[in-house]
Amino acid sequence: MSTNKEDQARERLIDLAAEFYDQFEAGDIPSMEIPTRTKSNIEYDEDSNVWVYGDRTSTRSANSVRGARKLLKAAYTIEFLARQLEEDRSSTLRELYYLSESWDAEESHFSNQDESNQLVEDLEIVSGVTREDFHMRPEESGATLMGPLRIREQTRRGEREIHCQEDVGEGGYQIPNNPDTIEFLDHDIDFVLAVETGGMRDRLVENGFDEQYNAMIVHLKGQPARATRRITKRLHDELGAPVMVFTDGDPWSYRIYGSVAYGSIKSAHLSEYLATPEARYVGIQPEDIVEYDLPTDPLSDSDVNALESELEDPRFQTDYWEEQIELQLDIEKKAEQQALASRGLDFVTDEYLPARLDEMGVI
């Protein structure tokens, strides 16, 4: 069953195709203008605290063979997506790449999946519609929720209500590709704890942390998928739940926090839809490594380069982050979340997180 958002998505796709037709009819060379998708055209918006595209644009034009092929692929993709929406079907990004092999014009075939992925992102940008509303999805991320929340979700078999503690197993409720199809019915959530690793997520659930503290545990599963970031934002914006991000203590994990809080460069066109600027970091700190004498690994050259880069990153230019990053560069060590187990399996839920969250005024 189509929704207003899906009808809008199909209408915008058809509008894009109509623009190509109008250009042909006017005797103009068909073209499509999009923001320049390079790091130099990404800006940190201090008002909204998210990454956004700058003013620079580039034009995909049929005035060259290469440009004409790009627009041909765009036209075929638009036709496929519009038909998919009309038939109330869906597909994965991987399927789109292989599907192009069946298109009758050989020049319309994608050379690799990166090319088809980028084209879908281009269509998101120029249409102002997300790929989820195109019924496009990535391969399953497997990220989950566990906590005191009752939801209603739309499925092909109709609506169903689920409590994300009482009606799910230890694995939790799997986040769907498009979290906007979920309706929040009732909750007792005091805060959201977004957790990087599966092992730590399982430890928290086994120890009953979600029940004891009315916490919604969101498994980020490493660098979080768009669906994971979207539902985290909805939990904050619609339910007023503070979002805390619990990761390993290394520069790559700090960037996981950054993508949740401020958005990522790759999805800068969706930052206001995906990012939660109010999210706070409750992960392993360099000062924890020193204070608790945690088991560690030495920083690699790439770790050092990443930390030095973060010192120049607007997302980390605060007194707190500068102090922590400088300390980490000084001690030359990093530590995983599960290093806390060196003090016992219950240390993280009985002492570490309660102390951190109390200090931050969350519990």
Q: What is the pLDDT of residues 241-279, one digit of tens each?
A: 999 999 999 999 999 999 999 987 777 788 888 999 999
Residue 60: the pLDDT is: 83
Q: Give the total residue count for the chain.
A: 363
Residue for token digits 């298109």? 103
pLDDT of 5-29, one tens digit each? 788 889 999 998 899 889 988 888 9
Residue 105: the pLDDT is: 86
Paired sense of beta strands 50-53 and 42-45, if any = antiparallel
Residue 212: the pLDDT is: 97
- Gap between the Cα atoms of 354 and 362, Å rounded: 9
Percent of the chain with pLDDT over 70: 98
Q: What is the mean pLDDT of the chain?
A: 91
Residue 337, pLDDT above cutoff 80: yes
Residue 90: the pLDDT is: 86
Paired sense of beta strands 158-163 and 42-45, if any = unpaired
Secondary structure letter of residue 175 according to DSSP: P
Could you give the C-alpha distances from 87 to 1, 6, 245, 255, 281, in angstroms and in order? Answer: 9, 11, 39, 39, 43
Q: Is 98 a catalytic residue?
A: yes
Between 149-153, 226-230, 312-316, the lowest mean confidence (pLDDT) is in 312-316
Residue 72: the pLDDT is: 92
Percent of the chain with pLDDT over 90: 63
Q: Could you say which of 44, 53, 76, 98 is catalytic?
A: 98
- Gap between the Cα atoms of 133 and 178, Å rounded: 8
Residue 55: the pLDDT is: 84
Residue 283: the pLDDT is: 96
pLDDT of 197-218, one tens digit each? 999 999 999 999 999 999 999 9
Q: How sure is the predictor about 48, in pLDDT bands with cuts at 50, 70 and 90?
A: confident
Residue 56: the pLDDT is: 87
Residue 265: the pLDDT is: 74
Residue 1: the pLDDT is: 47
- Gap between the Cα atoms of 307 and 126, Å rounded: 34
- Gap between the Cα atoms of 325 and 320, Å rounded: 9
What mean pLDDT is predicted for residues 102-127? 90
Strand partners, 232: none
